Amino acid sequence: MNNFKFERMNVMENNYTKEMVLELAKEKGVELIHLQFTDLSGIMKNVSIPIEQLETALDGEIMFDGSSIDGFVRIEESDMYLKPDVNTFVIFPWSSKECRIICDVYTRDNEPFEGCPRHILKKSLKAAADMGYKFNVGPECEFFLFNTDNAGRAILETQDNAGYFDMSPVDLGGNARQDMIGVLKEMGFHIEAAHHECAPGQHEIDFKYENALRAADHIMTFKMVVRIIAQRHGLHATFMPKPVQGIAGSGMHINMSLENEKGNAFYDEKDELGLSKVAYGFIAGLLEHAKSYTAIMNPTVNSYKRLVPGYEAPVYIAWSASNRSPLVRVPSKRGAGSRVELRSPDPSANPYLALASVLGAGLDGVRNSKTPPNSIDSNIFDMEREDLEQQNIEHLPSNLYEAVKYMKQDELIKSILGTHAYKKLKRLEMTEWNSYSNCVTEWETKRYLKKF
């Protein structure tokens, strides 16, 4: 592994202009620029241009074929444009001749494309701003590191048999994780924590709270960096929610707070739990729309193999200020650090759509002064069915088909996504469900081939 040495360029604190980016690129000897954007499925896309085209790109004149991207447009309306966000300009630590800029997608009429995930999040952030709030987010991203075979293909074997918070010599992925942290810091991330997770080969790297748009950008950058550095260590990094049966899956917990002119809007020192009416309303909105936004937080068939009892992932729609078993948790810190944590999302989710959805759901609770049910203080996994029914505690959708069904019934979530993105996302997820439903699995052949 190369020992990266590069002048740090902090993308979280940049306040660049077009002229500054042009000068920096020239000064650093950049030769290739990667214009990045994200499709509806949460997959990063990339258009690469030589340095001679940078000024044209910064003027928003680089065109691409939108009909070739899942969930975008038909072939007869395929001309789309990339509008770079200059504050996301950063040079790759592993290749000083290359840089990236994250872009918004625009139509040929120079209007924001309604199916651009980044634009959808911006709309939700504007709704929050109109109510006097900023939305801050701290993600917790988990992933697996698997070995590769002689051909470089991923295999379901890990370098270690370590567990939660274990360190060397059993955490053999620690060196790769350390290099990931170094590269992320070079790219402007403030890393708060990193450690081995519960399952063999499973890791987590957490980065600092920030505004939601930057947080979503950072999640996409994080995934790119983790994969690239893993490959340089001869490993395969995956954000698949449940790659191995019988062990914990990977989540992407989302820590959230609203900020107003007085500071953290979730904090009230006079309340018994230290929570404001805004916080209670936000929690109520998260719970009320939980079934509907699950198709966005958990967008793959595999996502629901993680959302089962026994592996720490949430199953029941409840909240707690004292334990981690429900869907929504309120961590103990109060004051500037007051926040709520949504524990259901997994890293296959499109971060722009995920944050737009939970913000919209939470704001619905705030706007309508909703009140959540009582906090669940005991381990919800140990509760009997009768106790759950008595307290009206429902469970999350058990599969992708059921999740899409609930999304179809929720006008708020549909309005957050917008007509175009909602229809395209529904089609993409139902196509995946139908493909899965028609698949004959190894489990089925083992179970039925000789039995019948």
Active site residues: 65, 140, 142, 197, 204, 253, 324, 341, 343
Q: Distance between CA 239 and CA 392 in Å, rounded?
A: 33
Is the preceding omega at residue 345 within 30 degrees of 0, hence cis? no
Q: Distance between CA 249 and CA 229 in Å, rounded?
A: 21
Q: Is residue 178 within 8 Å of 91, Cβ to Cβ?
A: no
Q: Distance between CA 125 and CA 349 in Å, rounded?
A: 19
> Residue 269 corresponds to which tokens in the numbers above?
């020192």
Beta carbons within 10 angstroms of residue 253's beta carbon: 20
Q: Distance between CA 355 and CA 252 in Å, rounded?
A: 12
The gap between the terminal CA atoms of the chain, to the nearest Å, is: 53
Q: Distance between CA 364 and CA 103 in Å, rounded?
A: 29
Sign, CA torsion 46/50/54/55? negative
Beta carbons within 10 angstroms of residue 340's beta carbon: 23
Q: Is residue 353 within 8 Å of 117, Cβ to Cβ?
A: yes
Q: Distance between CA 362 and CA 293 in Å, rounded?
A: 11
Number of H-type helices and E-type strands within the chain = 14, 16
